[in-house]
Structure 1
Amino acid sequence: MAEIERESMEYDVVIVGAGPAGLSAAIRLKQLDADLNVVVLEKGSEVGAHILSGAVLDPVGLNALIPDWKEKGAPLNVPVKDDNFYMLGEAGQIRVPNWPMPPLMNNHGNYIVSMGNVCRWMAEQAEEMGVEIFPGMACSELVYGENGEVKGVVAGEFGKNADGTPGDGYEPGMELLGKYVFLGEGVRGSLSKEVIAKYELDKNSEPQKYGLGMKEIWEIDPAKHREGSVTHTMGWPLGSNAGGGSFIYHLDNNQVYVGFVVHLNYQNPHLFPYMEFQRFKHHPMVAKLLEGGKRIAYGARAITEGGYQSMPEAAFPGGALLGCSVGLVNLPRIKGNHNAMLSGKAAAEHAYAAIQTGRYGDVLDGYTTELKEGPIGRDLKKVRNVKPLWSKRGLLASLAVGGFDMWTNTFGFSLLGTMGHGKTDAAATGEASKHKPIDYPKPDGKLSFDRLTNVSFSMTNHEESQPAHLKLKDPSIPVSVNLPKYAGPSARYCPAGVYEFVGEGDDTKFQINFQNCVHCKTCDIKDPSQNINWTVPQGGDGPNYPNM
């Protein structure tokens, strides 16, 4: 095939992803120099369409970026009024008191928010400052310069046939070139993954660890609604099968965010994270809250959980990784949006300083140092041992020893040093023959729902004639390896029912229903053979989250 000719546009800084990190970088660049040319490219149909987060927002990042956010109408309208922690058993619960918890676990001064709506508001602020924002523009390729540096991206390629050849209405997309390119794609972004591998940015860090977060928005009986209430649970139904827990956040308008996180380092390949979430809602405490209400939205996404010791080098020749592309979630706090904003602000400041001196296309070394030694590093370093303790010693050890370690870190030291994570989540998957199958109750259609019904509440849509954006490195592996050895775990770990095995015996085939994909990236992370590569579909496709 002849080489594709593309038009190009040049900017000072090209930003991939209109999430909290990318938008913070754009706003900060314009604050520093209104004449800088800054563009933000977003694969969702609109800003916020692909944003899914808990979310209880620590406003520290927003305070640093836009101190007068209240006067400017930022949608932080529900301050946290009370914190509740429970350990669940199948039939009851035990309240964990707040007083023994380290101060960093306190949600006083934080807000229950829709991060989708926060990002929509941030995009308005950025556009008022002159930032160009283009939604529906998936970035499918990196453009490299003569010295091997990243100098831009290819965005807006449309109209390929299912086999990858150009269709009748094919549009080749454009090259958007920048003095620096920022990748704020979120968790396990395809371009970030390429950059990390190419420049070996993770050679001195621990393997990144992940969780799968699933979330529903419920409208509940006003008599049961407690605006500003935050509840977290651990224990049932996961037990010893996997790490994880839940969140229940009461926002305004009688709405509640109900979420469930399963750590992806689980061993039993029979585990079905989505069904664990559905079973959780039948716990008496949760069922009592939700009965008589209705679910109005659903979505899922992976969460970076490796923390401080899993952070790769964040700067590379020609650009920087932002936010979840680096992995800046504080796992015990279940918060990362504040650090995402701070990372975007820091990257902007380092790029601005470089551009001022005539530099471009080089490594912003000071950026990685600031992430690890500045407020983000200090936030993550205090909690760095909670995840490895949970993974290696279980929930109770992480609560007791991890809690003690967080307390000592409050005073600047740790008796544990820095613990390692060991295996990747894919490598942690055990063989099916060594684990018991798990029997899950059938969804009742009132509190619990089947996957495909729930996916319809994510408003997900993909143009069916395009190539599948979920690529198999070896098409034979799902049936020849993953099915006999691991009982075909992709049919369970995907929270959207993308993967299924059809037929029997020698006629068994692996089917990819890419139209269902909610862009969570779990398959790219958890596939035990590391055979699935998640890439972007054409721009605008995927979920259309309203106020996740």
Structure 2
Amino acid sequence: MQRDEMEYDVVVVGAGPAGLAAAIRLKQRAPDVSVCVLEKGPEVGAHLLSGAVIDPRALDELLPEWRKAPLKLRVPVAREEMLFLKQSEAETLPHALLPKILKNDGCEILSLGELARWLATQAEALGVEIYPGFAAAELSLDEHGALNGVITGDFGIKRNGQAGPEYAPGMLIRAKYTLLSEGARGSLTRKAETQFKLRTDSDVQKFGIGLKELWRAAPARHQPGTVVHSLGWPLDNSTGGGGFLYHQADGLIAVGFVVHLDYANPYINPYEEFQRFKTHPAIRAHLDGGERLEYGARAIAEGGLQSLPKLTFPGGALIGDSAGFINLPRIKGIHNAINSGMIAANAVADAIAAGRSHDELAAYPAALKQSWTWKELDVVRNAKPMLSRFGTLLGVACTGAELTLRQFGIRLPWTLKHAGADHAKLRPANEFSPIIYPKPDGVLSFDKLTSLTFSSVQHTEDQPAHLRLTDPAKAIDVNLARFASPESRYCPAGVYEIVEDHYGPRLQINASNCIHCKTCDIKDPTQNIVWATPEGGGGPQYSRM
């Protein structure tokens, strides 16, 4: 069957904050430029997950009237706490001691999914065409090796690899320029990094896994505008991460936990650490009497400035978390993602106005290096390396000292490198003891499969598994034998499990459980698991995450 083709001036892959901001800015700059946004989720926002406390700076520049938008969960930050947790106690770090960059003055609590859906309406009002349910699966290259668009995934392929009665081949979407805005560990971004050698001169990317639940608070416990961040328990000093509680509007609380994926102990289970976190007296005080509404998880690109790959290649560019613009100490990246999309859009608009196409957008990284995003990331560039090298306590102290020096105009002359990729940090299981996690109480803590029902995950059952093993034998000969099958623990959705049959142990992959967090693609110690796009429209269906 012949592949259908469509042609636009610009195609954006991913309807997240960066992609939608790029589309909007393109239409603001050049109303006659045709722009298409492809989104693999069933609707805009369905695959988006963030805390989220947002620095409004970029939105103010993109759409100055955005505060008039009907965002039901938005509320300005009114008060904040930073806690250091011990097993049953909590110490509060005085707000006055926090470096200015870490304070949330002027920030807003909101739902990223709700924000994206509103941004989509603004983009469509300007003439942007948005296509949810279409997963961009392959890069399309012209005869000179430049990117000239993307190919969407096929529909109707059966589990055996054969075309079913509803088979339809993916479309070729041609474009003068393609912007990849897939979020952390995007599948096309990985292909572009390999095809165009984008990581030749950059440090490795570092990641965390962020787990989140949305709760309906007991009325007496709801404090709109309250922000709580925590370090410490249940993680030990050598395992990076922390928790958050954000009191949104409409009686809701977003509660979440981040575990940095450079941990060494293969028995660590980020999902179970999150469940333990909620039982701490200082955290349960916010949740008692409430009702859990949603659950999800997503990888976070934490490497910062030194981990940014080359951002441009012939015919395209990386924007948002596809590149990795998160400010880890601030626990914020939405504003930088939006700004990167706007800056890239300006470069595209200028290139098309000049009659160019399929070349490198050199103006994008040049302008980015002069932007406030670059300056902000430069301030915190050593935070992640210090946390990884020195542990939580000393790492936080060193980061705080450096950020305080920057307030007085003192910039340390060095940029620390990261100490290797996250998957390489996992140590053999025989160096550790198994962690016995408490059984869920069904009130504050829950088992993984029960939680999965709160992500509304759906996939077409009779399709090829989108989670693939490069060498199936490694799952048993290496992962199980050496690392006690860590994929059964770091996956927050119960995708991977070791089962025994008359042939012995084997790895079972429950691909229909996948919530597209990408953790397996990142943390697998032999890099044997490859995450590919499933049929468009599959995955979680978050409503307010």
TM-score range, shorter chain: over 0.9
Contact 1:102 1:406 in 2 (8 A): yes
Q: How many residues align?
A: 545
2:111 equivalent to 1:114: yes
Match of 1:524 among 491, 509, 521: 521
2:520 equivalent to 1:547: no
Contact 2:72 2:249 in 1 (8 A): no
For residues 316-338 of structure 1, give each alpha carbon's deviation from its aligned partner in whole angstroms, at most 9, with x where no partner exists.
11101010000000001100000
Query: 2: distance between equivalents of 1:77 and 1:91?
Result: 32
Query: 2: distance between equivalents of 1:115 and 1:49?
Result: 10
- 1:151 maps to 148
- 2:259 maps to 262
TM-aligned CA deviation for residue 409 of structure 1:
2.6
1:120-199 matches, within 5 Å, as 120-199=117-196
- 1:498 maps to 495
Query: 1: distance between equivalents of 2:516 and 2:413?
Result: 36
Contact 1:250 1:256 in 2 (8 A): yes
TM-aligned CA deviation for residue 412 of structure 1:
4.4
For residues 503-522 of structure 1, give each alpha carbon's deviation from its aligned partner in whole angstroms, at most 9, with x where no partner exists.
06951111000111000000
Contact 1:76 1:111 in 2 (8 A): no
Contact 2:55 2:335 in 1 (8 A): yes
2:11 equivalent to 1:14: yes
For residues 227-264 of structure 1, give each alpha carbon's deviation from its aligned partner in whole angstroms, at most 9, with x where no partner exists.
00000000000013510000000011221000000000
- 1:487 maps to 484
Contact 1:431 1:486 in 2 (8 A): yes
Query: 2: distance between equivalents of 1:350 and 1:185?
Result: 19
SS of match in other structure, 2:156: strand
TM-aligned CA deviation for residue 435 of structure 1:
1.7
Specify the code of the residue in structure 1 equivalent to 2:192: V
TM-aligned CA deviation for residue 71 of structure 1:
3.6
2:424 equivalent to 1:444: no
Query: 1: distance between equivalents of 2:502 and 2:396?
Result: 46
Which shifted more, 195-204 or 86-95?
195-204
CA spacing shift, 1:502–1:539, aligned 2, 3 Å: same
For residues 409-436 of structure 1, give each alpha carbon's deviation from its aligned partner in whole angstroms, at most 9, with x where no partner exists.
3344433611111210000111111122
Specify the code of the residue in structure 2 equivalent to 1:433: N
Which shifted more, 4-13 or 263-272?
4-13
TM-aligned CA deviation for residue 544 of structure 1:
0.3
Contact 1:39 1:132 in 2 (8 A): yes
- 2:89 maps to 92
SS of match in other structure, 1:373: coil
2:278 equivalent to 1:281: yes
Query: 2: distance between equivalents of 1:527 and 1:484?
Result: 14
SS of match in other structure, 1:394: helix
2:237 equivalent to 1:240: yes
2:318 equivalent to 1:321: yes
2:365 equivalent to 1:383: no
Match of 1:464 among 455, 461, 464: 461
1:356-375 matches, within 5 Å, as 356-375=353-372
- 1:403 maps to 400
Query: 2: distance between equivalents of 1:371 and 1:76?
Result: 31
Query: 1: distance between equivalents of 2:251 and 2:72?
Result: 17
SS of match in other structure, 1:11: strand
Query: 2: distance between equivalents of 1:309 and 1:411?
Result: 23
Which shifted more, 154-163 or 88-97?
154-163
Specify the code of the residue in structure 1 equivalent to 2:391: G
For residues 76-131 of structure 1, give each alpha carbon's deviation from its aligned partner in whole angstroms, at most 9, with x where no partner exists.
73000011000000011000011121111111111100000000000000001100
- 2:224 maps to 227
TM-aligned CA deviation for residue 285 of structure 1:
1.3
Identity of aligned residues (%): 50
TM-aligned CA deviation for residue 482 of structure 1:
0.5
1:27-38 matches, within 5 Å, as 27-38=24-35
SS of match in other structure, 1:99: helix
Which shifted more, 470-479 or 121-130?
470-479
Specify the code of the residue in structure 1 equivalent to 2:420: K
Contact 2:205 2:302 in 1 (8 A): yes
Match of 1:434 among 420, 431, 436: 431
Query: 2: distance between equivalents of 1:46 and 1:269?
Result: 36
TM-aligned CA deviation for residue 164 of structure 1:
2.3
Specify the code of the residue in structure 2 equivalent to 1:84: E
Query: 1: distance between equivalents of 2:231 and 2:422?
Result: 20
TM-aligned CA deviation for residue 223 of structure 1:
0.6
- 1:418 maps to 415
TM-aligned CA deviation for residue 370 of structure 1:
2.5
Contact 2:240 2:260 in 1 (8 A): yes
Which shifted more, 405-414 or 394-403?
405-414
SS of match in other structure, 2:37: strand
TM-aligned CA deviation for residue 190 of structure 1:
0.3
Query: 2: distance between equivalents of 1:243 and 1:72?
Result: 36
Query: 2: distance between equivalents of 1:366 and 1:408?
Result: 32
For residues 375-422 of structure 1, give each alpha carbon's deviation from its aligned partner in whole angstroms, at most 9, with x where no partner exists.
111111101111111100011112211111112233444336111112
**Structure 2 residue runs without a partner (length 5+):** none
Query: 2: distance between equivalents of 1:329 and 1:336?
Result: 4
Specify the code of the residue in structure 1 equivalent to 2:260: H
- 2:451 maps to 454
For residues 120-158 of structure 1, give each alpha carbon's deviation from its aligned partner in whole angstroms, at most 9, with x where no partner exists.
000000001100000000111111111111111112520
Query: 2: distance between equivalents of 1:328 and 1:69?
Result: 22
Contact 1:241 1:268 in 2 (8 A): no
TM-aligned CA deviation for residue 472 of structure 1:
0.9
Query: 1: distance between equivalents of 2:63 and 2:217?
Result: 34
Q: Which TM-score applies when normalising by structure 1?
A: 0.98
Which shifted more, 445-454 or 157-166?
157-166
- 2:510 maps to 513
Contact 1:405 1:416 in 2 (8 A): no
Query: 1: distance between equivalents of 2:249 and 2:229?
Result: 18
- 2:59 maps to 62
Query: 2: distance between equivalents of 1:490 and 1:316?
Result: 34
Contact 1:382 1:410 in 2 (8 A): no
Which shifted more, 439-448 or 403-412?
403-412
Specify the code of the residue in structure 2 equivalent to 1:264: L
Query: 2: distance between equivalents of 1:283 and 1:78?
Result: 26
Query: 2: distance between equivalents of 1:412 and 1:535?
Result: 45
Contact 2:207 2:303 in 1 (8 A): yes
Specify the code of the residue in structure 2 equivalent to 1:35: D
Query: 1: distance between equivalents of 2:92 and 2:207?
Result: 27
- 2:330 maps to 333
SS of match in other structure, 2:454: helix
SS of match in other structure, 1:117: helix
SS of match in other structure, 1:426: helix
SS of match in other structure, 2:369: helix
Contact 1:451 1:495 in 2 (8 A): yes
Contact 1:267 1:428 in 2 (8 A): yes
Query: 2: distance between equivalents of 1:62 and 1:73?
Result: 15
Specify the code of the residue in structure 2 equivalent to 1:438: I
Query: 1: distance between equivalents of 2:336 and 2:72?
Result: 18
- 1:47 maps to 44
SS of match in other structure, 1:125: helix
Contact 2:244 2:256 in 1 (8 A): yes
Which shifted more, 520-529 or 158-167?
158-167
- 2:247 maps to 250
CA spacing shift, 1:325–1:143, aligned 2, 3 Å: same
Which shifted more, 169-178 or 369-378?
369-378
TM-aligned CA deviation for residue 163 of structure 1:
2.6
